[in-house]
Structure 1
């Protein structure tokens, strides 16, 4: 405890923003600082960075929505978002109950629904990075529980976390994982290699073999009980050299445990095995290759297979009888005569090898080979079917992946569009039955290419629309690209789509209007079928929901009923207009709704604003703050950046102009927030409704 506290104080004092805690007692303020420091340290463990950067990742406080810090990484294959909730305790009893679980997942859901305005000003600088992570594909999201405690979470809390995680991963496979960092993890992270215990252990390998050139290694089979005992004795110390620790709650772990419980005799065949590095390996007694060998290991660490080891332990403790017959392949690599850095190379390489995917087998399908030839001969374009090949410029061709997405979208079976949206690598579409339904027995090159052109055009139109959309409409336009494409396709004349002479350009010209109508009806259908608080992402990735939404939207389109106007909360323009209908300043001052001297926060409202202003606001935190005065008439905001007085709209316009050069009107009452209460627009509307008055034009 002392080590961790001192490290937080030494590393983060003066770096973490504590300005919102100024009214607390010194003792309470220090407790809040330690909790925020723990959040910074947790984000730093997951995403290494300097102390200064880690401190800026903390947004704990009012309107943190149950989350305390964030880190966003853009990987070559998949972006990753880390969200931390931290609980400090001087008694090493950091509490984390069911209420905290609900808050944490509620914050995640707000973020997934792009309802960024619900988060405080310290969160806002990360929104452009979050959007970039979304736009590059479904990110991996790690929820980190940073707890100053050693005791495990209660069974009830663990079960609730599992259920919540399962709900998210039903919508998008393997999107959310949960990790617990406790006192031991922070202690080890702070001390670095010095905190990693040197573990000596005896192991037994069945049917063992060995390598002696160029370096010494042993390999063979260990039983599940032996591995469970090894983990029981040394716990996470076994993973000191691993790139990442074992995940307490993950989809992979659950599958490993399920295999051990239901098919223990097959576990050796299904598992990739475990790799351990050792400072030295010594035989105990006479060891003959091919027989049972006993070995004394010095300085052992699991560098690949941490999840397998921890899952084996949990499965064995949960159902000893079923799991005891499990066996797993183990490699022991001795570093005795290895060059410096070799162990790190082993660790990195064994954790980054590219697995063979189902789509790799589909590249051998004769139908795909014919498509590639037809693209070249009939279209004079390229069709890439193997991973690793250079994908052509969009005008000159496409890949098998893009073709699969497009064909899934235009399939008569809307379910395929949902299957395609579940995984960025389209794992579900490559399953044989889905693949056959998507491409058909003899895919037609003209239909494939025209479907790709349609999907591209729909996405381009949705991207244009998103500039003026917020919250659920923005989420629907982003996540619903395949859903909207499906509906648009069914409204086009596609009878001759396989004919080389088809006038496809005429059909594509109808797309912009159809996209606008389809998006309106899709959102209307989602709201009516599942409610305005339902997850957009679930409607487009759940096979049952997407079929219901398609049916409802097509009924409205077929009726030729005028497309509904989007909810005013979903559009920047209508939200601006609504804001002007309520004389918010006069209403709030007359009601005394906001306490004199309250510090307000500015939160960019639209996607263009976030893109243009995020960096400018981050340079000087004072730019996003203003003090409220009930005695200042039409100019109640004293901007912290220059101490001058402004109206909310005048200040919002000035700020955007300074940030980006854009000099346009901006309704300030939907952008300035009273932390923990809402925007000026929301507060004024609440006052009017409470007093029984209808909103009027300013």
Structure 2
């Protein structure tokens, strides 16, 4: 027995020694200056000074600021700009103009809105001369509070640098499809557990049902890697393997074929959004289209190549390598100056899966087309980019035109002197009392339906309303019981509420503005449920009295109720996402009296 106890003690001490050694090594790596970390920090410093000298605004600093302090401000701001050139693929001038660092920045050192990618970038940066450690937890907490203020459009407590970006910030916040990307840029090894907890709490709070806020830890390793790859400046040169390939020699060289999903995933891991510098759109992250791409990969990987449109890539030059010879089954190609100009959502979705679970890509093949711009006329690459992104695309709502109910409603509305436009056209339609669009009619009927999920769907994923014309929710909205008179009444109420709340939003700021900006579908729904159901009958004689006398007072009452309910029930949540959340909207509906 004593020998057994002694053996346990020996084993315990051995394990303890291993843990101590491992922990000590990790502690030293993360918290002590090493010759290598000092060398890396100096290289980063030299790059920032060379690249951003004379481009970083320091005019807000007091004249009494010492040279050493000025240098620290410069490096911290330059690091924020540099992070945007790498992660957001912003050019240097755009990145430097995004700097908001200064007094009353609320911890947000740079703000950049990429309209094409629909991403609002928020950066906190800290230049750490030692190359170890992370950002102070107090600065992180200040930043998280600042983010909450910003997404509630409460800009009164921000400095002039932030308020000078007010229009683009509000534009981003007003678009429910925009994602918010947070970056911590610092020349340290890693964030502390407390810092990660603060960020996780912020993300969990805002990402209750879908990923709306995203976080990137842009530490010294990523900063240095950006120097190695050249950031958004150096061209991307890669060896590419194409399966079952073919080629076009004249008038301009082009190769086409299949590329393995894992190879595309590796390409994404290495370069990320830099691959899309010439595209009209960046990768949009979580979206209905990208969800479908990922669903196909997971459920039907072998069929992905048939269901997907593929990827178009421009290259400055392409050269076939000797490997494989003339065999068309496998070809190796040296591609210089790579830029994906069509298929960003496909590549980005594959990249996101490769990061989380690369095994899911093992059976995936993607059609790809590489076009060489060698000897091509000036502007040819731009013409390809425009052409491949503007081909007429059949959208799901286009299939609405096949539904006989739509043709019937068009005739009925025509008899009421209203033109109903349910087919896409190149005509410019001015929406007024004599012209209705399919989308507006659908949104109005969604608010009329007794399930609040449909009016929530208008704000969250409106395309689902006509995703399948043979199933709900479409058949609940458009059916033989849907009359022209019902549509006219619903549209008039929806338009009245929308206009009224837009006018209210224009007079206030912050969370109150957001409630008015995004609450129109919900308020319309509540009103349509509370009023006398006889109003919807074609024979109802007093709709004009209701519309002119009762509706304004009812609308005022429910708008006030909604504001109070949201601030009581969800005071910390971003308004736009409250009104896109099915569960929260169901709960809010129960509070309306």
Which TM-score band applies after superposition, normalised by the shorter structure?
0.7 to 0.9
Aligned to 2:122: 83
Deviation at 1:220, TM superposition (A): 1.5
**CA distances 1:516-565 after superposition (whole Å, capped 9, x unpaired):** 1111222233344x2433443343221222122112112xxxxxxxxxxx
Aligned to 1:690: none
Could you tell me whether the CA contact under 8 Å between 2:122 and 2:182 is conserved in 1?
yes
**How far apart, in 2, do the equivalents of 1:155 and 1:258 lie?**
34
Could you tell me whether the CA contact under 8 Å between 1:406 and 1:455 is conserved in 2?
yes
Q: How does 1:137-148 map to 2 (within 5 A)?
A: 137-138=175-176, 140-145=178-183, 147=185
Could you tell me whether the CA contact under 8 Å between 2:235 and 2:336 is conserved in 1?
no
**CA distances 1:468-500 after superposition (whole Å, capped 9, x unpaired):** 545433322221111111222234334142416
Aligned to 1:545: 584
Q: Residue 418 in 1 paired to residue 462 in 2?
A: no
Please state whether the residue corresponding to 1:455 is helix, strand or coil. Answer: helix
Q: Residue 7 in 1 paired to residue 48 in 2?
A: no
Aligned to 1:673: none
**CA 168–538 in structure 1, closer or farther in 2 if over 3 Å, else same:** same
Aligned to 2:326: 287
Could you tell me whether the CA contact under 8 Å between 1:447 and 1:497 is conserved in 2?
yes
Larger displacement relative to structure 2 (384-393 or 94-103): 94-103
**How far apart, in 2, do the equivalents of 1:133 and 1:174 lie?**
16
Aligned to 1:570: none
Q: Which of the residues 239, 253, 268 maps onto 1:201?
A: 239
Q: How does 1:490-501 map to 2 (within 5 A)?
A: 490-499=529-538
Aligned to 1:680: none
Deviation at 1:266, TM superposition (A): 3.8
**CA distances 1:266-322 after superposition (whole Å, capped 9, x unpaired):** 43345442333330232645536xx50313324151414456556546645754544
**How far apart, in 2, do the equivalents of 1:156 and 1:553 lie?**
40
Q: Residue 59 in 1 paired to residue 100 in 2?
A: yes
Aligned to 1:609: none
Please state whether the residue corresponding to 1:10 is helix, strand or coil. Answer: coil
Q: Residue 35 in 1 paired to residue 76 in 2?
A: yes
Q: Residue 402 in 1 paired to residue 429 in 2?
A: no
Q: Note the aligned Cα RMSD (angstroms).
A: 4.2
Could you tell me whether the CA contact under 8 Å between 1:177 and 1:250 is conserved in 2?
no
Please state whether the residue corresponding to 1:116 is helix, strand or coil. Answer: coil
- Unmatched segments (≥5 aa) in structure 2: 1-43
**How far apart, in 2, do the equivalents of 1:98 and 1:387 lie?**
53
**CA distances 1:375-422 after superposition (whole Å, capped 9, x unpaired):** 22x211211113344223312222111111111112211111111111
Deviation at 1:176, TM superposition (A): 5.0
Aligned to 2:555: 515
**CA 551–73 in structure 1, closer or farther in 2 if over 3 Å, else same:** same
**How far apart, in 2, do the equivalents of 1:50 and 1:316 lie?**
30
TM-score, with normalisation over the residues of structure 2? 0.76
**How far apart, in 1, do the equivalents of 2:161 and 2:294 lie?**
40
**How far apart, in 1, do the equivalents of 2:152 and 2:73 lie?**
29
Deviation at 1:431, TM superposition (A): 3.0
Q: Which of the residues 571, 583, 586 maps onto 1:532?
A: 571
Deviation at 1:119, TM superposition (A): 2.5
Q: Which of the residues 459, 465, 471 maps onto 1:429?
A: 465
**How far apart, in 2, do the equivalents of 1:17 and 1:38 lie?**
18
**How far apart, in 2, do the equivalents of 1:479 and 1:538 lie?**
9
**How far apart, in 2, do the equivalents of 1:475 and 1:508 lie?**
26
**CA distances 1:314-344 after superposition (whole Å, capped 9, x unpaired):** 6457545443222222212233342233234
Q: How does 1:341-490 map to 2 (within 5 A)?
A: 341-350=379-388, 355-376=393-414, 378-388=415-425, 389-423=427-461, 426-432=462-468, 433-466=472-505, 469-490=508-529
Q: Which of the residues 276, 290, 313 maps onto 1:276?
A: 313
Aligned to 2:28: none
Please state whether the residue corresponding to 1:115 is helix, strand or coil. Answer: coil
Aligned to 2:14: none
**How far apart, in 2, do the equivalents of 1:248 and 1:370 lie?**
38
**CA 512–345 in structure 1, closer or farther in 2 if over 3 Å, else same:** same
Size of the aligned set, in residue pairs, is 536
**CA 523–493 in structure 1, closer or farther in 2 if over 3 Å, else same:** same
**How far apart, in 2, do the equivalents of 1:338 and 1:65 lie?**
50
**How far apart, in 2, do the equivalents of 1:261 and 1:439 lie?**
33
Aligned to 2:15: none
**CA 515–25 in structure 1, closer or farther in 2 if over 3 Å, else same:** same
Larger displacement relative to structure 2 (26-35 or 507-516): 26-35
Larger displacement relative to structure 2 (543-552 or 142-151): 142-151
Could you tell me whether the CA contact under 8 Å between 1:458 and 1:511 is conserved in 2?
no
Could you tell me whether the CA contact under 8 Å between 1:8 and 1:34 is conserved in 2?
no
**How far apart, in 2, do the equivalents of 1:226 and 1:383 lie?**
48
Could you tell me whether the CA contact under 8 Å between 2:562 and 2:588 is conserved in 1?
yes
**How far apart, in 2, do the equivalents of 1:40 and 1:276 lie?**
28
**How far apart, in 1, do the equivalents of 2:362 and 2:397 lie?**
35
Could you tell me whether the CA contact under 8 Å between 1:83 and 1:141 is conserved in 2?
no
Please state whether the residue corresponding to 2:108 is helix, strand or coil. Answer: coil
Q: Residue 112 in 1 paired to residue 148 in 2?
A: no
**CA 397–187 in structure 1, closer or farther in 2 if over 3 Å, else same:** same
